[in-house]
Amino acid sequence: MKGHLFIETARASLMAGKGGNGCRSFRREKYVPRGGPDGGDGGRGGHVILRADNNVDSLLAFYYRPEWRAQDGGHGRGKKMHGRNGADLILKVPCGTVATDFTTGEQIADLVKENDEFIVARGGKGGLGNCHWLTSTHRAPMEHTPGEEGETRKVKLDLKIVADIGLVGFPNAGKSTLISVISHAHPKIAPYPFTTRYPVLGAMKPEGQSGGIIKVVDIPGLIKNAHTGAGLGYEFLRHIERTLVLVFIVDMAGMDGRNPSDDYLTLRDEIGRYNASLLKRPFIVAANKMDLPESAAFLKEFIKRTRCKPIPISALTGDGIAELKEAMIRLADASAE
């Protein structure tokens, strides 16, 4: 396989372990003339647990292996020996993974933070040994029970990346260049549409400040009707749902023959059609490619039409980047309080 395969949706069949059987046994020891029942209980089957892990960034493991099974419990033994419990199967998923029951469509888990976990399928209880049936009148019980079957659950897993800031814009607006400048991310950068085919997560460290890392996600380019599935937008709009702040990156030079004002208004319309509540979030508009001569006239028109004053930047030359980073960090910190 060449490169990194990003999988954001997967289906999985998860099977918990079966409980061990209870034991039927009687004491057979020298000098113990009336040995009673001493059959032990079976062990519990292993649970299947989903756990969020910051070191996992894709649902790739479930793409190659859709079926998982936890360990069965051990059988009970004589001398009231309890069977071992089956080992739990812990499946690591990216932070931001939503688990939905595939049969009912019910959301069963939303694992947002590191080490968030959920038992998605419970192991079967162990069976009872015959010692449980001993009474004053029933001295030699033969009864014992088998272990219970573990739960089997088919789930759909969806990844919604957890980030503080989401970069949105049309293809070739310069988002990939920007995230490579403000963070340590290294996305593919090329002068053609849809170069970024999956979300890119970068970490931005406030310079000279004691604050924590700001996570920034670059969403693949949106186009008109993205909310209906056009382009790549529908698949990736979900990744801005968890962001605190949106940064609209606008190609202010109109390099692809588009009008910057139309681009911005279309972006807001598409996001609103996907999820209207996203438009209520704090946002910044960055007017990119201000190093090109065409941008000055477009910027005047943009301010007049949208009544929004963007931060002028050039991701290529670095002009305005410090001001943009400061505004992003300030807004992200305020939104997190």
Query: Where exactly are the structural domains of the chain?
Result: 9-159, 165-336
The average pLDDT across 288-300 equals: 96
Could you tell me the pLDDT band of residue 194, with boundaries at 50, 70 and 90?
A: very low
Per DSSP bridges, beta strands 152-159 and 9-15 are antiparallel
pLDDT of the residue at 225: 58
Instruction: Give yes or no for a contact between 303 and 309, defined as CB atoms under 8 angstroms apart.
Output: yes
- pLDDT tens across 128-186, in order? 999 999 998 998 899 999 999 999 999 999 999 889 999 999 888 899 899 999 987 66
pLDDT of the residue at 240: 86
Tell me whether the CATH fold assigned to 9-159 matches the one assigned to 165-336: no
pLDDT of the residue at 276: 93
CATH 3.40.50.300 is held by the domain 165-336: yes
In three-state secondary structure terms, 298 is helix
Instruction: Give yes or no for a contact between 311 and 225, defined as CB atoms under 8 angstroms apart.
Output: no
Token pair, residue 65, equals: 């292996």
Number of continuous H segments (helices) and E segments (strands) in the chain: 6, 14
The average pLDDT across 20-36 equals: 83
Q: Could you give the percent of the chain with pLDDT greater than 70?
A: 87
Please name which of 87, 86, 88, 81 lies closest in space to residue 41, comparing C-alpha atoms: 81
271: pLDDT strictly greater than 80? yes
End-to-end CA distance of the chain: 43
The average pLDDT across 104-110 equals: 97
In order of 50, 89, 123, the CA distances from 120 in angstroms are 7, 10, 10
The average pLDDT across 190-214 equals: 65
- pLDDT tens across 306-325, in order? 999 999 999 999 999 999 99
192: pLDDT strictly greater than 70? no
pLDDT of the residue at 231: 45
The average pLDDT across 278-295 equals: 96
Q: What is the topology classification, in CATH, of domain 9-159?
A: Spo0b-associated Gtp-binding Protein; Chain: A, (2.70.210)
Q: Could you give the percent of the chain with pLDDT greater than 90?
A: 68
190: pLDDT strictly greater than 60? no
In order of 260, 300, 303, 319, the CA distances from 297 in angstroms are 11, 5, 10, 18
Token pair, residue 271, equals: 């996001």
Query: Strands of 97-101's sheet, edge to edge?
Result: 67-69, 9-15, 152-159, 97-101, 107-111
In order of 18, 66, 139, 248, the CA distances from 145 in angstroms are 13, 32, 18, 63
What is the average pLDDT score of the chain?
88
Could you tell me the pLDDT band of residue 84, with boundaries at 50, 70 and 90?
A: very high
Query: Of 26-35, 37-46, 128-137, 225-234, which gets the smallest average pLDDT?
Result: 225-234
Query: Of 109-113, 179-183, 198-202, 270-274, which gets the smallest average pLDDT?
Result: 198-202
- pLDDT tens across 215-267, in order? 999 887 675 654 454 444 456 678 888 899 999 999 999 987 889 999 999 99
41: pLDDT strictly greater than 70? yes
The average pLDDT across 272-286 equals: 94
